[in-house]
Amino acid sequence: MTDSLVSSASGADTPTTFIELDALIRANYADMRPQFQAGAAFLLDNPGEVAVSTMRAVSTRAGVQPSTLVRLSQYLGFPGWGELRALFVERLAVTPKAYAYKAQSLVKRNNSDILIEEIFQAQRANLDASEPKNADELLRAAKTLTKARHVHIAGFRAAYSVAFMLEYLYRLFRPSVTLIKGTAGSLAMELRAVTAQDATIVISFAPYSIEAVQVAEAAKRAGSKLIALTDSAVAPVALQADHTILFSHESPSFFPSMAAAVAVAESLIELVISLDDDKAVKRLEQAEDELYQSGAYVKAGSK
């Protein structure tokens, strides 16, 4: 694709809402030049910051030239940067917590050499950054899950812990939930069970696991609703997702922080329960009683 307007190249109209802009960028991301991809990824991953920052500040954070943002705006069908940024300002008006995200993003790591303090500070920052990105999308994803015949969950390597927790919590009140493991080369066989009546949740973050991408692609081929829990709106598992739930994972440690990933996963389950009314609560109570009766839980006061 050339750098002509996307509206004429793809046949799409100029976006009038942030949701439309999100969909347009995802649809054309693979065909963008690398600098446009860098700018577009930053826009979708940091909408609150874009709304309250200057073009020069955004370009610095995105690692591109200000002129690139102007050309990207035109590529997406806008006269210039101001018109594109207006969609982010409009989004901010209905997402006031984005101000908190912007404020938190200005807080740099403490210069202290106390590692524990820095790690906890990073966890709090990740939670603050992730919350305003997902308020509406979490609810939409939860509604999709309540309508699904069966829910498949996948996460590999470091993301496996989040996938396992999500499946464990979900199965406490819903039996039709499966954790895709791919053990001993069984991934292809497990994916055969995914159908158009199902929903598939994939957890993945950079560097993205090839198995996670394979699950996402198989889910879309099967017609399953795809929910991506990931670190970027243009991550490989997110580009074709029906719902993308973002989490931040910055850390002073050698390994990414999973605190925000766990938080969004837990939030998703809580919303599903709230939408399922008393039925989910009754099944949860029943599961808890059975676990106590089976001896899986230690009763208070027992020796």
Q: Model confidence over 163-184: pLDDT tens digits?
A: 999 999 999 888 899 999 999 8
The pLDDT, as a whole number, for residue 96 is 47
Specify whether the CB–CB gap between 22 and 50 falls below 8 A: no
Could you give the C-alpha distances from 91 to 48, 87, 107, in angstroms and in order?
8, 6, 23
Any idea which fold 6-93 has?
Answer: Arc Repressor Mutant, subunit A (1.10.10)
For residue 73, pLDDT over 90 is answered with yes
The pLDDT, as a whole number, for residue 228 is 97
Euclidean distance between CA atoms 100 and 109, whole angstroms: 17
Nearest to 74 by CA among 9, 142, 144, 161: 9
Euclidean distance between CA atoms 276 and 44, whole angstroms: 31
Q: At what angle do helices 66-75 and 55-62 cross, to 10 degrees?
A: 100
Could you give the C-alpha distances from 37 to 32, 155, 254, in angstroms and in order?
6, 25, 27
- pLDDT band at 57, cuts 50/70/90? very high
Euclidean distance between CA atoms 204 and 160, whole angstroms: 9
Q: Which alpha helices (H) appear in 53-114, and where do they start and end?
A: 55-62, 66-75, 81-93, 98-105
Q: Model confidence over 202-248: pLDDT tens digits?
A: 999 988 999 999 999 999 999 999 999 999 999 999 998 999 999 98
Euclidean distance between CA atoms 130 and 199, whole angstroms: 23
CATH for 130-292 (1.10.3720.10, 3.40.50.1220, 3.40.50.10490, 3.40.630.30): 3.40.50.10490
Highest mean pLDDT among 160-164, 229-233, 259-263: 160-164
pTM: 0.75
Domain limits, the chain = 6-93, 130-292
Strands 225-230 and 199-204: what pairing?
A: parallel
- Considering only residues 101 and 120, tell me which one the structure prediction assigns the higher pLDDT: 120
- The amino acid present at 4, given as its one-letter code, is S
- Residue-level length of the chain: 303
- pLDDT band at 283, cuts 50/70/90? confident
Euclidean distance between CA atoms 51 and 289, whole angstroms: 49
Nearest to 270 by CA among 141, 99, 151: 141
Task: State what percent of residues in the chain have pLDDT above 70.
Answer: 87
The pLDDT, as a whole number, for residue 301 is 65
The pLDDT, as a whole number, for residue 107 is 47
Instruction: Kindly report the average pLDDT of the chain as a whole number.
Output: 85
The pLDDT, as a whole number, for residue 10 is 55
Q: Model confidence over 117-154: pLDDT tens digits?
A: 777 888 888 888 788 778 789 999 999 999 999 999 99
